[in-house]
């Protein structure tokens, strides 16, 4: 097979245009081309009204060797790489200890799936509930203002990614094509096949629920064991005379001990009590940067028009997204994050009397509003104003302080504080909504958001919004809505690991995924789960 890249065609090209473009590119006659398949389809929307589709194609030709020789100097004509997945190991028949995976978000799900597929029969522990029970609890906060601290947007089967846009694209380096394995497994579990070839695939919350259930069934059918409502409250660590530390197992909230010398730590970025426990047990970790800000909502039609012009609404293009960044005079950077076309802003709290926002879309992306986080990057040096102890967990103190303040500003009933963009820029409280009605449930209480974040963050966002308006006309429209606060863009800590994927100072503990600082989103977390599962399998086999 030969892979052709950068094949450009009009948005509304004829059915046979792809094959014609291939023949023209390669100089092939009628009998030279056997088959064409689309590996990826993206678009170039830089010229409004003249949007082009950009294809990566795999073609089967009669004389592959000769064709590659003729096009040896063309970087867009290359052999098709082998993206098939190959397992690195198989479990021994006399497996003495089963590996444990803590967490059933995208990372834990794929770590568990890969270990099960290799025959290691993992035990997977999640502090939350199965995805459908968890969904009921999550709606309890949205509809009834009732928070379940162990079952919500953050905790439970599927992880935080379940209540998101279900984006499946990433900029991680992936030389072994693990991302392809992730997408293939998702399709097997019920995702639409288009995620295999569109440039920015997404699934949406409702489809993710059924897919997660299907993958759970696969893991169990392969001998894996999944235990819900099983919070890990402690770890068992032996320290040798030379100071070497070896993990021996975990202790559940019930007091039950599970022994294993290979434990994948795939907790999410909100497992704060777990971070504190591990820190108390001497596991090496460090503070890391993250970002804070608000969610902003606009009419989706404004974003579509700004990005696509007269071709807005085309079924191939769907709802438009955006990615913006502005470098401020005060040295801070403001950027858009987790943009959800045609979606909703959701309550994402996991601790009582705190308010946190996130964004979510269904597969259809057909809600009235677009939303995205508009956030300011912060560094560990910013944490001292909230915790000056020098602890690597100081970022959690900052998050908690801002989330508690948002709870107060929202009226102390899990409503979120909000403000119109025009009023925010001018520094005055908002009194009533305009054309943009906020989607956040249980509700938005209009106020002055200047008190919701540190002064440097407010100053930076006020500067950035008009700058973003110069890129997307209407972005700073007066009655667009800001909702606070967004504090969980990524984990506030990194639990350092070595090249063998084990903790730097605690053998047998494998930090993985977003919560421990090694991913940012569904795809990258799932890929990290695969990598760590491979490391666990190789370590188990090497220790026999």
Distance between CA atoms of 284 and 35, rounded to whole angstroms?
A: 54
Look up the pTM and report it.
Answer: 0.95
CA distance 483 to 461: 13
Q: What is the pLDDT of residue 293?
A: 98
Query: In this structure, what token pair is assigned to residue 359?
Result: 């964004």
- Per-residue pLDDT, 204: 79
Which pLDDT score, from 0 to 100, does residue 224 have? 98
Amino acid 206: pLDDT = 77
* Opening angle at CA 111, ends 110 and 112, nearest 5: 90
Distance CA 356, CA 415 (A): 10
Question: In a structure prediction context, what are the per-residue pLDDT tens digits for the chain, which is 544 residues long?
Answer: 999 999 999 999 998 999 999 999 999 987 889 999 999 999 999 888 899 999 999 999 999 999 999 999 999 999 999 999 999 999 999 998 999 999 999 999 999 999 999 999 999 999 999 999 999 999 999 999 999 999 999 999 999 888 887 788 887 889 999 999 999 999 999 999 999 999 889 887 778 889 999 999 999 999 999 999 999 999 999 999 999 999 999 999 999 999 999 999 999 999 999 999 999 999 999 999 999 999 999 999 999 999 999 999 999 999 999 999 999 999 999 999 999 999 999 999 999 999 999 999 988 899 999 999 999 999 999 999 999 999 999 999 999 999 999 999 999 999 999 999 999 999 999 999 999 999 999 999 999 999 999 999 999 999 999 999 999 999 999 999 999 999 999 999 999 999 999 999 999 999 999 999 999 999 999 999 999 999 999 999 998 7
d(CA 412, CA 399): 17
Q: Which two tokens stand for residue 15?
A: 């059915």
Rg (CA), the chain: 25
List C-alpha distances in Å: 22 to 25, 512, 537. 5, 42, 43
To which H or E segment does residue 298 belong? strand 290-299
At 106, list the tokens. Answer: 């995208």
DSSP string, 134-181: HHHHHHHHHHH----TTSSSSSSTT-GGGGS--B-------TT-HHHH
- Secondary element (H or E) of residue 424: helix 421-426
- How far is residue 242 from each of residues 109, 239, 397, measured CA to CA in Å? 36, 8, 35
- Burial, 371: exposed, middle or buried (Cβ in 10 Å; 0-12, 13-18, 19+)? buried
Give the model's pLDDT for residue 544.
73
Q: DSSP letters of 65-116? A: HHHHHHTTT-TTEEEPP------S----TT--S--EEE--SHHHHHHHHHHH
CA–CA gap between residue 121 and residue 220 (Å, rounded): 8
């Amino acid at each position: 097979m030969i892979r052709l890249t950068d094949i450009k065609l009009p948005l509304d090209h004829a059915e046979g245009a792809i094959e014609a473009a291939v023949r023209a590119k390669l100089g092939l006659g009628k009998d030279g081309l056997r088959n064409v398949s689309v590996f990826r389809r993206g678009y170039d929307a830089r010229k409004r009204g003249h949007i082009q589709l950009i294809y990566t194609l795999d073609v089967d030709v009669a004389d592959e060797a000769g064709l590659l020789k003729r096009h040896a100097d063309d970087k867009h004509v290359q052999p098709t790489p082998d993206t098939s997945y190959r397992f690195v190991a198989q479990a021994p028949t006399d497996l003495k200890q089963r590996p444990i995976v803590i967490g059933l978000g995208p990372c834990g799900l794929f770590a568990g799936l890969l270990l099960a597929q290799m025959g290691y029969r993992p035990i997977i522990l999640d502090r939350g509930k199965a995805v459908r029970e968890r969904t009921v609890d999550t709606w309890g906060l949205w509809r009834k203002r009732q928070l379940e601290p162990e079952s919500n947007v953050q905790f439970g089967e599927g992880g935080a990614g379940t209540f998101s846009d279900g984006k499946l694209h990433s900029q991680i380096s992936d030389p072994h094509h693990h991302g392809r394995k992730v997408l293939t497994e998702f399709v097997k579990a019920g995702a639409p096949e288009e995620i295999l070839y569109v440039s920015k695939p997404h699934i949406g919350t409702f489809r993710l629920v059924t897919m997660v259930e299907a993958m759970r069934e696969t893991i169990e059918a392969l001998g894996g064991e999944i235990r819900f409502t099983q919070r890990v409250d402690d770890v068992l660590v032996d320290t040798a005379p030379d100071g070497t530390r070896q993990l021996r197992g975990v202790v559940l909230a019930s007091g039950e001990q599970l022994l294993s010398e290979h434990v994948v730590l795939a907790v999410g970025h909100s497992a704060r009590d777990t971070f504190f426990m591990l820190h108390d047990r001497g596991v090496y970790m460090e503070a890391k940067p993250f970002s804070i800000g608000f969610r902003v909502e606009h009419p989706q039609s404004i974003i579509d028009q700004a990005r696509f012009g007269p071709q807005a609404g085309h079924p191939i293009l769907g709802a438009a997204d955006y990615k913006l960044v502005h470098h401020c005079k005060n040295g801070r950077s403001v950027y858009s994050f987790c943009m959800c076309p045609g979606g909703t802003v959701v309550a994402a709290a996991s601790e009582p009397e705190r308010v946190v926002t996130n964004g979510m879309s269904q597969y259809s992306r057909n809600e009235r509003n677009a939303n995205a986080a508009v956030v300011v990057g912060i560094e560990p040096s910013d944490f001292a104003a909230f915790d000056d102890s020098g602890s690597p967990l100081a970022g959690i103190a900052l998050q908690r302080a801002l989330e508690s303040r948002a709870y107060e500003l929202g009226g102390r009933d899990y409503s979120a504080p909000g403000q119109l963009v025009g009023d925010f820029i001018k520094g005055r409280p908002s009194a009533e909504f305009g054309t943009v009605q906020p989607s956040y449930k249980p509700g938005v209480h209009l106020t002055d958001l200047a008190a919701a974040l540190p002064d440097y963050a407010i100053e930076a966002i006020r500067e950035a919004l008009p700058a973003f308006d110069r890129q997307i006309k209407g972005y700073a429209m007066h009655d667009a809505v800001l909702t606070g606060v967004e504090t969980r863009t990524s984990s506030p800590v990194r639990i350092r690991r070595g090249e063998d994927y084990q903790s730097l100072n605690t053998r047998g503990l494998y930090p993985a995924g977003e919560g421990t600082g090694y991913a940012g989103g569904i795809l990258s977390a799932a890929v990290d789960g695969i990598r760590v599962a491979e490391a666990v399998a190789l370590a188990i086999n090497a220790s026999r």
